[in-house]
Amino acid sequence: MFRYVQSRKYYRESCVNKHAWRYNPIGFEIAYALYVFRDILNLKIEIKGIQKWIELQIKKNYSLKSGLMDRNTDDPETLSARIYEATRLPDININLNSFTYEV
């Protein structure tokens, strides 16, 4: 399962799934699962592999204007409320240099 969620195929399929990214913050969820199970399952994943999922979620849905996760979603209230899932993540520096603001 962990190998699959890190594959390009999974990412492509998640981008067309209306319940992924735009409704459920799978970027936070996958990052958390990889972090929690990396030692138990001897996953060969570095913090950068976890970091990319967090950055993707923020880049896809966070609005600099509103300060909420209300971009590219049909349910901005639910997705914005689910930012609490990020509180379970370890302290990781994220890079938003390529963050593009969309109105």
The answer to whether position 96 is within a domain reads no
The answer to whether position 28 is within a domain reads yes
| pLDDT the model gives residue 99 | 58
- Per-residue confidence band for 102, with pLDDT thresholds at 50, 70 and 90: very low
CA distance 6 to 97: 23
Please tell me the pTM assigned to this model: 0.85
The answer to whether position 84 is within a domain reads yes
Domain total for the chain?
Answer: 1
The answer to whether position 95 is within a domain reads no
- Per-residue confidence band for 98, with pLDDT thresholds at 50, 70 and 90: low
Longest dimension (CA), the chain: 42
Q: Which of 10, 27, 17, 6 is nearest to 83 (CA)?
A: 27
Segments forming the whole domain that contains residue 36: 2-88
Dump pLDDT digits (tens) for 19-38: 999 999 999 999 999 998 88
CA distance 11 to 101: 22
Question: CB-side exposure of 63: number of CA atoms within 13 Å?
Answer: 15
The answer to whether position 100 is within a domain reads no
- Per-residue confidence band for 64, with pLDDT thresholds at 50, 70 and 90: confident
The answer to whether position 94 is within a domain reads no
The answer to whether position 55 is within a domain reads yes
The answer to whether position 58 is within a domain reads yes
- Per-residue confidence band for 61, with pLDDT thresholds at 50, 70 and 90: very high
